[in-house]
Amino acid sequence: MANWRALDALSGNAAAGAAVKANAYGLGAGRVVEALASAGCRDFFVAHWSEVPALLPHASPAMIAVLHGPLTREEAAFARQTGVRPVINSLHQAAIWTQTGGGICHLMVDTGMSRLGLSMDDLADPLLRSLDIDICLSHLASADEDSALNLIQRDRFAQVRSTVAAKRYSLANSAGIALGADYHADITRPGIALYGGIVRPELEGRIAQVIRPEAALIQVRKLRPGDTVGYNALFTASRPMRVGTLSIGYADGYLRSWAGKGAFTHDGTIAPVIGRVSMDLTIVDLEALPQCREGDWLTAAYSLPESSRLTGLSQYELLTLLGERFSRQNGG
């Protein structure tokens, strides 16, 4: 909630919504939406229709937007029955929505990403005049960089605002919020920064780490010099060692890219990852943790910016890869 409040304040006169697609970036959509709604968030964005039921107990249907829009008459009927808002991305979707009865919707316009949304040329189509548009939105492609495309999209979105009649307008994602008031419009749509991602220097010191994966120590053993560790014997002990096997692996989203780079901590003391990460197991050096015993829990070093630099994974992947075997719990 602290991160949302910080982003809401950075959004100036705009209100901050929240991207909670992909199970709230892996953290658990229901519990995240419940917390954000209690903090004052009033607009939530998911990708798929299948993500809607997890949100409905915690947010009014009118607060929920489905970014992929209605591809079938059945999806349009679901939107109308539940009261959630479809995001219209094409003239085809606009036709489905109007032909099945219409109603309040959102509209996505492509201003330079070539991903989802109507083209600027589509905005003159008379079909759009039949839409009752709440939010007209677009999406920044390179807001995490000082790119000329940011200015191009800002100016194109200004054209969109003068062309499309809507109650509210939205352009900025997490990085876009940091670009300043010219990008904020009426509502911002932070995603990664809500969950501890820092995608521009302006967010450093304002965004707190949220995710701290933990794993149980399920076996402790002693190695002799020359003993090897893990698949393909990537690590060989050069001295007597005390090592531990943790119940976490690439099936949980802790990928092999952590081999020789990752670390876990216990009471602030570091246990480096050694050898190759397995599907369900990861081995750590316990030399600095003589007190650790089987059954203890260790915490992965998982600052998103630093972890991204170490592994080559994006901050988004580091979150959304975390598997279902983790129990999502609030920190103490």
Determine the Cα–Cα distance for residues 249 and 19; give it in Å rounded to an integer. 28
The pLDDT tens digits for 134-178 are 999 999 999 999 999 999 999 999 999 999 999 999 999 999 999
Tokens representing residue 27 in the block: 């953290």
Residue 289: pLDDT band with limits 50, 70, 90: very high
In a domain, 223, yes or no: yes
Rounded Cα–Cα distance for residues 94 and 283 (Å): 53
Q: Is residue 325 part of a domain?
A: no
Percent of the chain with pLDDT over 70: 99
Q: Is the dihedral of CA 313, 314, 318, 323 positive or negative?
A: negative
Looking at the structure, do residues 222 and 184 belong to the same domain, yes or no?
A: no
My answer on whether 58 and 198 are in the same domain is yes
Q: Which of these three, 146, 181, 203, is where a domain ends?
A: 203
The answer to whether residues 25 and 167 belong to one domain is yes
Q: Which residues contact 226 (CB under 8 A, 6 or more apart)?
A: 236, 237
Looking at residue 95, its pLDDT comes to 98
**Cα–Cα dist 322/117, whole Å:** 29
Instruction: Judge if 185 and 272 occupy the same domain.
Output: no
- Do 57 and 167 share a domain, yes or no? yes
Residue 327 falls inside a structural domain:
no
Q: Do 175 and 281 sit in the same domain of this protein?
A: no
Q: What CATH number corresponds to the domain at position 133?
A: 3.20.20.10
**Which residue among the candidates 21, 169, 195, 250 is catalytic per the annotation?**
21
What is the largest distance, in Å, between two alpha-carbon atoms of the chain? 77
Residue span of the structural domain in which 308 resides: 214-320
CB 48 within 8 Å of CB 72: no
Q: What angle do CA 169, 17, 64 make, to 5 degrees?
A: 90
Task: Verify whether residue 21 is a known catalytic residue.
Answer: yes
Q: Evaluate whether residue 151 is within a structural domain.
A: yes
Residue 298 has φ and ψ, to the nearest 5°, of -115, 150
In a domain, 131, yes or no: yes
**51: closest CA among 26, 90, 91, 20?**
20
Residues 53 and 180 in one domain: yes
pLDDT value of position 330? 79
A 10 A CB-CB count for 176 gives 28
CB 214 within 8 A of CB 254: no
Q: Judge if 293 and 164 occupy the same domain.
A: no
> Which residues make beta-bridge pairs with 298?
215
Count how many domains the chain has. Answer: 2
Do residues 195 and 247 share a domain? no
Residues 23 and 145 in one domain: yes
CATH number at residue 273: 2.40.37.10
- pLDDT one-digit tens code per residue, 110-124: 999 999 999 999 999
**Is 167 an active-site residue?**
no
Residue ending a domain, among 160, 177, 203, is 203
Residues 82, 45 within the same domain = yes
Q: How far is CA 329 from the centre of its chain?
A: 17
Residue 332 lies in a domain: no
The sign of the dihedral angle between the CA atoms of 192, 198, 203, 206 is positive
Choice among 183, 222, 231, 250 that is catalytic: 231
- Choosing from 173, 203, 233, the residue where a domain stops is 203
What size, in residues, is the chain? 332
258 part of a folded domain: yes
Residue 315 and residue 278 share a domain: yes
Q: How confident is the model at residue 331 (pLDDT cuts 50, 70, 90)?
A: low
Tens-place pLDDT, residues 193-230: 999 999 999 999 999 999 999 999 999 999 999 999 99
pLDDT at residue 77 above 80? yes
Identify whether 326 is part of a domain: no
Residue type, 246: L
Residue 276 pLDDT grade (very low, low, confident, very high; cuts 50, 70, 90): very high
